Chain A
Amino acid sequence: MTDQMQNRAARVSGWFNRLACFALVVMMVLSLADVILRRLGAPIPGTYELVGFIGSLVVSFSLADTSVKGGHIAVELIYEKLALKGRIILDVIGNLTGSALFLLLAWQMFGLGGDLKASGEVSATLQMPIHPFVYGSAAGCLLLALVLIAALAGAILKGVKS
């Protein structure tokens, strides 16, 4: 059951990461096109804003997959020296802290997005709404929270079994 949850979370994280990869390519092409077109006297307006916004999607859409692949830097010094029981306890504490943090973040970011939408806040140059990107970041945080909850459930089950 928890295995299934973890596998499903990993699969969705992988899809999101592919979107992050796509956003990365768009960011590169857009910056390059702007430099070339500027030389020709026709810069792309709002590149500065757009690259920042696309950057937020690159990071937030890869949050969960980075966690699934163990990419977030952590200090293993004590963990490595512990027996199974100790490791399970640390896994529970770690996943609990992480999932609580990213649930809070997702909740607050959805709220922030809602506020920006209600106030009609737009970017300075392109007059583009900002809230979709905040919602994008909130979705990334929520997915990471779900991945960590699945890992937490896995750790608890492992503890119960052992």
Chain B
Amino acid sequence: MTPAAVGLAGFAFLLFLISLRIPVGFVMAAVGFVGFGLLVSWPAALNLLAKDFFSVFNTYNLTVIPLFILMGQLAHNSGMSGRLFQTAHKFIGHLPGGLALATIGACAGFSAICGSTSATAATMSLVALPQMKRHNYDPALATGVVAAGGSLGILIPPSTIFIIYGVMTEQSVGKLFMAGVLPGLLLTLAFLVTVVVWIRLSPSLWERSPKASFKERVASLAGVGETFVLFVLVMGGLFLGLFTPTEAAAIGAAGTLGIELVLGNLTWRAFLRSLEETTRITCMIFVIVAGATVFGHFLAVTTIPAQMGSFAAGLSLPPFVVIGIILVIYIILGCLMDALAMIMLTIPIFYPVVISLGYDPVWFGVIMVLVTGIGVITPPVGINVYIVSGIARDVPMPVIFRGASRMLIALIVTTLLVILFPGIATYLPGLMK
């Protein structure tokens, strides 16, 4: 068997084992180890396994992940998401579909503190779904909005996907974060427009909630203050080059802790819960990254990435057609597997292709995050839909998928706009020092 054939067999075996409910990170490490052993040697494979795992666990640039997750968990456990929703509710809750619009606004706000799509979907489900249920919002609308709104979590900085992409491709995480800001705002707008159109087409999906007084609105603004201060502190420092992403994350986590302690929103129990949830999510991510690193080393010896790169460069297709094909592959893969695993597996293959076609690596990072956002709400494996379904136990999963699929339009339109106008992603990072 040629190395490339072993690589393809490895891929097929990987997908088979993943379907058996073996954790994705374990499977990537195991298949990568066996493949490397077959192609190189068993002692080399054993050595690779230990070195890859320890070097991933010990990477300074990845320590930004637990610190940003901690920031998000502290914000969640101290009720920040609820206060954001309340502010949005007071301002736009009375409009047609206002609670759904407020949910999207709150998702965007929370995304400025939280770097995970599933954490954003989970926290906003807890906060917004009971309110929408109380006002008789259609379950597909309510759950679809939170499941899709979660994708803002990884587009608006901070973002775990940008961090991992940056570390894998040696791009500046600070620049990637900045690249996500405008597409994040554009996606927020696209979600809002989608909800407005949806409500216009089916006016029976919602019930009006009372209009808040001017005084109530002003009072609710305190709920956005803390998010605003933290976002400006963390992203401002990064933008101006005052500190590294890890330092920014440490400042963000400590800042959230300090502010919530002073405001009296964080109990000791909530603090401990934040720590425990952070270590668990961190560990889950790191095991996938370590497994994918082992698998990536196996892929490198199969020569598949290099062959794919030269194959695509040798095709006489216009670059945008190649990007189109890659996107279609991502959307199909995103339906079938976990988004993080998908990115880790495919970047070694597609990244050289994209770069050889002359595309901007930071721009491609934004596209990656957008297709990840699509992947987390498309059936059958849509992690955000699973999460929302775990919280809204009275809503059947197909209903949530139906709701989320309407919101998909916004994600697709935003992705197309970022492809047609790359400046949406590359303008802000271009201004950085």
- A contacts, CB < 8 Å to B: 17, 20-21, 24-25, 27-32, 34-35, 48-49, 51-56, 58-63, 65-67, 69, 71-79, 90, 93-94, 97-98, 100-101, 104-105, 108-109, 111-112, 133-134, 137, 141
In the bound complex, CA of A58 to CA of B24 (Å): 20
Q: Is B26 a contact partner of A65 (Cβ separation < 8 A)?
A: no
Q: Is B23 an interface residue (CB 8 A)?
A: yes
Q: Is B20 a contact partner of A73 (Cβ separation < 8 A)?
A: no
User: Per-residue CB proximity of B233-249 to A under 8 Å, as 1/0?
Assistant: 00000000001001101
For B58, give the chain A residue with the smallest CB separation.
A56
Q: Is B282 a contact partner of A28 (Cβ separation < 8 A)?
A: no
In the bound complex, CA of A32 to CA of B53 (Å): 27
For A82, give the chain B residue with the smallest CB separation.
B21
Chain A nearest Cβ from B35, distance in angstroms: 14
- B contacts, CB < 8 Å to A: 17-27, 29-30, 33, 46-47, 49-51, 53-54, 57-60, 62-63, 66-67, 70, 243, 246-247, 249-251, 253-254, 272, 275-276, 278-284, 286-288, 337-338, 340-341, 380-381, 383
Instruction: For A73, give its contact among B17, B70, B288 (CB under 8 Å).
Output: B288
Q: Is A97 a contact partner of B250 (Cβ separation < 8 A)?
A: no
In the bound complex, CA of A31 to CA of B275 (Å): 17
14 additional contacts (CB under 8 A) given A21-B278, A30-B250, A73-B24: A17-B280, A24-B279, A27-B250, A28-B254, A31-B249, A53-B58, A55-B62, A55-B66, A56-B58, A66-B284, A72-B283, A73-B383, A93-B20, A104-B46
Majority SS at the chain A contact face: helix
Chain A nearest Cβ from B180, distance in angstroms: 23
Instruction: For A51, give its contact among B29, B246, B254 (CB under 8 Å).
Output: B246
Q: Is B282 a contact partner of A72 (Cβ separation < 8 A)?
A: no
Chain A nearest Cβ from B241, distance in angstroms: 13
Q: Is A73 a contact partner of B341 (Cβ separation < 8 A)?
A: yes
Q: Is A77 a contact partner of B380 (Cβ separation < 8 A)?
A: yes
Given contacts A29-B254, A101-B30, A104-B46, contact A78 B66 (CB under 8 A): no
For A109, give the chain B residue with the smallest CB separation.
B50
Given contacts A21-B275, A48-B60, A56-B54, contact A74 B282 (CB under 8 A): no
Instruction: For B21, give its contact among A53, A61, A76, A104 (CB under 8 Å).
Output: A76
In the bound complex, CA of A41 to CA of B341 (Å): 42
Q: Is B247 a contact partner of A34 (Cβ separation < 8 A)?
A: yes
Q: Is A74 a contact partner of B286 (Cβ separation < 8 A)?
A: no
Q: Is B49 a contact partner of A72 (Cβ separation < 8 A)?
A: no
For B48, give the chain A residue with the smallest CB separation.
A108
For B52, give the chain A residue with the smallest CB separation.
A105
In the bound complex, CA of A28 to CA of B49 (Å): 29
Q: Is B21 a contact partner of A78 (Cβ separation < 8 A)?
A: yes
Q: Is B381 a contact partner of A35 (Cβ separation < 8 A)?
A: no
Chain B nearest Cβ from A101, distance in angstroms: 5
What are 15 contact pairs spanning A and B, CB under 8 A? A21-B272, A51-B63, A53-B58, A54-B63, A55-B58, A63-B283, A65-B279, A71-B280, A72-B284, A73-B288, A74-B22, A76-B21, A94-B20, A94-B22, A137-B57
What A residues does B247 contact at CB under 8 A? 31-32, 34-35
Majority SS at the chain B contact face: helix
Q: Is A73 a contact partner of B284 (Cβ separation < 8 A)?
A: yes
What A residues does B340 contact at CB under 8 A? 73
The A/B interface has a contact count, at CB < 8 Å, of 179
Chain B nearest Cβ from A74, distance in angstroms: 5
Chain B nearest Cβ from A47, distance in angstroms: 9
In the bound complex, CA of A75 to CA of B24 (Å): 8
Chain B nearest Cβ from A19, distance in angstroms: 10
In the bound complex, CA of A27 to CA of B68 (Å): 12
Q: Is B49 a contact partner of A104 (Cβ separation < 8 A)?
A: yes
In the bound complex, CA of A94 to CA of B20 (Å): 7
Chain B nearest Cβ from A137, distance in angstroms: 5
In the bound complex, CA of A24 to CA of B272 (Å): 11
Chain A nearest Cβ from B18, distance in angstroms: 5
Chain B nearest Cβ from A50, distance in angstroms: 9
Q: Is B250 a contact partner of A105 (Cβ separation < 8 A)?
A: no
In the bound complex, CA of A49 to CA of B286 (Å): 18
In the bound complex, CA of A32 to CA of B71 (Å): 13
What B residues does A133 contact at CB under 8 A? 58
In the bound complex, CA of A40 to CA of B148 (Å): 44
Instruction: For B54, give its contact among A32, A101, A112 (CB under 8 Å).
Output: A112
Q: Is A27 a contact partner of B67 (Cβ separation < 8 A)?
A: yes
In the bound complex, CA of A25 to CA of B396 (Å): 40
Chain A nearest Cβ from B268, distance in angstroms: 13
For A61, give the chain B residue with the smallest CB separation.
B279
Given contacts A28-B70, A77-B380, contact A21 B26 (CB under 8 A): no
Instruction: For A24, give its contact among B18, B46, B47, B278 (CB under 8 Å).
Output: B278
In the bound complex, CA of A134 to CA of B51 (Å): 10
Chain A nearest Cβ from B402, distance in angstroms: 19
Q: Is B18 a contact partner of A56 (Cβ separation < 8 A)?
A: no
What B residues does A52 contact at CB under 8 A? 58-60, 63
For A57, give the chain B residue with the smallest CB separation.
B57
Query: Which 5 A/B pairs are nearest by Cβ-Cβ distance?
Result: A31-B250, A108-B50, A72-B23, A62-B279, A21-B275
In the bound complex, CA of A52 to CA of B286 (Å): 13
Chain A nearest Cβ from B246, distance in angstroms: 6
Q: Is A78 a contact partner of B50 (Cβ separation < 8 A)?
A: no
Q: Is B66 a contact partner of A98 (Cβ separation < 8 A)?
A: no
Chain A nearest Cβ from B54, distance in angstroms: 5
Chain A nearest Cβ from B399, distance in angstroms: 18
